[in-house]
Each structure stands twice: as structure tokens, then as C-alpha cells.
Amino acid sequence: MPAQIIDGKAIAQEVREEVAHEIAGFAGSRPQPSLMVFLVGDDPASQVYVRMKGRACEKAGITSETRRFDADISEKALLQEISAINNDPAWNGLLVQLPLPGHIDTQKVIEAVAPEKDVDCFHPFNVGRLSVGMPVFSPATPAGIVEMLKRSDIKTAGKHAVILGRSNIVGKPMASLLVQKGDFANALVTIVHSAAADISEYTRQADILIAAIGRPEMIRGDMIKPGAIVIDVGINRIDADNEKGYRLVGDVAYDEALEIAGHITPVPGGVGPMTIAMLLKNTLKAYHMQQG
Ligand code: GUN
């Protein structure tokens, strides 16, 4: 029997409607929540993501603005721009789209964002709170995955979750969330990365397999445990004979995985839309905290 498809687009829509509904409930009587987005340079994928984030904010009733900076902006000037938003009560959230040009120290930028406006949950203060089970914000991609599992009624307690990739944006915070005590957590977590001699040794043990390695269709059907829950975080462009000249694929060979997994997220339409929905939730949270 083919795997059940976890429809991230539909679940994200539910979350977005909930956020929009809550904001509509106080619209008019209070200021709207607000998100400032910084985009440095002209990375094509970042431009698409930032546009999607802006549109999602608008639909939810969140005021948003994207401030664009030339790729050669100095680190000092960017830090000053961040400081100005930190000190401006008109903005509840500030997101600096990554990646940044090579001459800018990404970690310095992340640490410059005020923790209470850090809707990405990238600042070490928020990462630290997350790792001790006291999160302020939820990191968008991992929290989106947990939300998808929750709303699909997929239990994680006692299951072996194997996370492929150790990035600060996905792999590490994913492990932090799944290892905590609590519902839709309490998993036994393994992080697998490029130092593994043979990743299939680990992927085959996964009840829940989360692929975030950025390698198109690297995870083949025979690397997956029958009945496993497969969450594909990858969004990779590969050449295709169509108008665009490319198509999007995940880190998992979808057609093969469909035959063996119990549940699977598609690409596109899986994890990606959830990420934006969780960003809206975080912005609303920042707003409530700042409104007291
Ligand atoms: N680049 C890729 N994903 C993200 C994200 O979630 N937040 C930011 N700021 N940049 C990204």
C-alpha cells in the first residue's frame, strides 16, 4: 500500500487561518502585529522566500516590510540597520534572510537581532532556551514538522527519529524539539551527518526519518524502514525539460519512498509551507509579548 501523504500545504493553511482569525479578533482596537524582513543581495531563492513570507503576512493581517540591501553593504552598516529595528517599537519581529554574502559574519548578525524580536529563533539566547525545554519562539522548520505530525496524529514518543543533517536551522533544533519530554516529542533521537561512513545503516533504523541534507533524491527507497514516517526538508532544483528549465525535488527519491514509507511529505507542498505558517505564529507571539 502506498504511503499516506502528509499535506503540508493544507495543514499550513489551517495554521495560517488560525493566526489570521486571532488577529482579526482584535483588529481595529489594537495595533497590528508587524514583521520587518531584511534581504541582502539578490539570491534568487531568497527573493522567492521573502516574497512568500511578505504575502503570507499580508493575508494574516500582519504588517510587513522587506528592506533590500545591496550585496556589498558593509557588516557595520547592516548591524546599524538591525539596531534601528531593535529599537523601533513599531516592529515586533525582525528576520534577516539567510544566506548572507561571504564578507558578512552571519553569526554576528544573528546575535545582533534583539532576542525578543528573533522570530527565526536563531539567536543563541533563544536556542539555549529551546534546548532546555523553555522555548520563547519555535524554530520555524522544525516546529512546522512537529505541527504536521501533531495534526496528522502521528505519535513520536518512544520512536527512533533519525535526523539527517546538523544545521543550526534544521537538524540541531529538530533534535532539541523531539528529545524533550512531552506530547509529540519524547523521541529517541539520532543526528546523522557527513562524517557517517554509510548513512543507510542509520536511515534503515528510523521510525521517523527527517532528511535535511540538501542533496537531491539522495535517500532511496531501499534506505527506508518499511512503514516509516518520512519528512523531506530538502528543496533542490534539478534540470528539467520544461519552461523553467528546472523542477524541485526533495532529499528523498519520492516515488521510491512512496512504495515503502507509512507516511511521507511531498516536495513541494510538504515542509516548505509549514515554515511560513510557523513564522506567522512566532510573529504573533512576539507581538503578544511586547504588548504585555
Ligand atoms: N534561509 C533559509 N531558511 C531560512 C529561515 O528560516 N530564516 C531565515 N532568516 N533565512 C532562511
In a domain, 280, yes or no: no
Of 169, 170, 174, 280, the residue with max ligand 1 atoms within 8 A of its CB, to mutate for a pocket test, comes to 169
pLDDT the model gives residue 138: 92
The answer to the question of residue 40 being in a domain is: yes
Query: And the C-alpha cell for 197?
Result: 561512513
Does some domain include residue 73?
yes
pLDDT exceeds 90 at position 186: yes
Rounded distance between C-alpha atoms, residue 264 and residue 157, angstroms: 19
pLDDT > 90 fraction of the chain, expressed in percent and rounded:
97
Let me know if 207 is a catalytic residue: no
- 168 and 92 within one domain: no
Same domain, 144 and 232: yes
> Does residue 126 belong to any structural domain of this protein?
no
pLDDT at 26 over 90: yes
Span 233-247, average pLDDT: 95
Residue 112's pLDDT is what? 99
C-alpha closest to that of 165 among 198, 125, 194: 194
Is 147 touching ligand 1 by the criterion CB < 6 Å? no
Q: Which of 115, 150, 182 is the last residue of a domain?
A: 115
* Mean pLDDT computed over 214-219: 98
The three-state secondary structure class of 201 is helix
Is 172 one of the annotated active-site residues of the chain?
A: no
* Position 194 pLDDT exceeds 90: yes
Asked if 200 and 261 sit in the same domain, the reply is yes
Q: Which residue out of 118, 120, 232, 251 is catalytically annotated?
A: 120
Whether ligand 1 lies within 6 angstroms of the CB of 169 is answered as yes
Mutate to test the pocket of ligand 1, among 47, 52, 97, 276 (most ligand atoms within 8 A of CB): 97
The average pLDDT across 145-169 equals 98
What is the whole-number distance in angstroms between the Cα of residue 98 and the centre of ligand 1? 5
- The pLDDT of residue 102 is 98
Q: Is the CB of 258 under 6 A from ligand 1?
A: no
Mean pLDDT taken over the chain:
97
Task: Count structural domains, the chain.
Answer: 2
Cell of 117: 524580536
- The answer to the question of residue 131 being in a domain is no
- Residue 175 shares a structural domain with residue 241: yes
pTM for this entry: 0.96
Cβ atoms of 34 and 117 closer than 8 Å: no
Q: Are residues 109 and 73 in the same domain?
A: yes
Output the domain CATH number for residue 255.
3.40.50.720
Whether residue 109 sits in one domain with residue 47: yes
Cβ of residue 113 lying under 6 Å from some atom of ligand 1: no
225 assigned to active site: no
CATH of residue 106: 3.40.50.10860
pLDDT at 9: 98
Residues 110 and 212 in one domain: no
pLDDT range class, residue 49, cuts 50, 70, 90: very high
Cite the DSSP H helix spans in the chain.
8-26, 44-60, 75-86, 106-112, 124-131, 140-151, 171-179, 200-203, 254-258, 271-291
Euclidean distance between CA atoms 211 and 192, whole angstroms: 10
d(CA 44, CA 190): 33
pLDDT at 22: 98
Q: Kindly state if the Cβ of 95 falls inside 6 Å of ligand 1.
A: yes
Average pLDDT over residues 176-204: 97
Q: What spacing in Å lies between the alpha carbon of 29 and ligand 1's midpoint?
A: 32
CB 210 within 8 A of CB 162: yes
User: How far does the centroid of ligand 1 lie from the alpha carbon of residue 139, in Å?
Assistant: 10
Q: Would the CB of 118 count as within 6 Å of ligand 1?
A: no
Same domain, 39 and 162: no
Beta carbon of 11 within 6 Å of any ligand 1 atom: no
pLDDT band at 1 (very low <50, low <70, confident <90, very high): confident
Q: Are residue 63 and residue 155 in the same domain, yes or no?
A: no
Q: What is the mean pLDDT of residues 271-278?
A: 98
Examine the domain organization and report whether 180 and 97 are in the same domain.
no
Q: Which of 47, 80, 115 is the last residue in one of the domains?
A: 115
Residues 260 and 177 in one domain: yes
Please report which confidence band the pLDDT of residue 156 belongs to, taking 50, 70 and 90 as the band edges: very high
pLDDT of 76 reads 98
Average pLDDT over residues 251-279: 98
* Residue 28 Cα to ligand 1 middle (Å): 31
Nearest to 139 by CA among 162, 163, 123: 123
Q: Which three-class secondary structure state does DSSP give residue 263?
A: strand
Task: Tell me the residue range of the domain where 55 lies.
Answer: 29-115
Residues 39 and 96 in one domain: yes
Q: How far is the CA of 133 from the centre of ligand 1 (A)?
A: 22
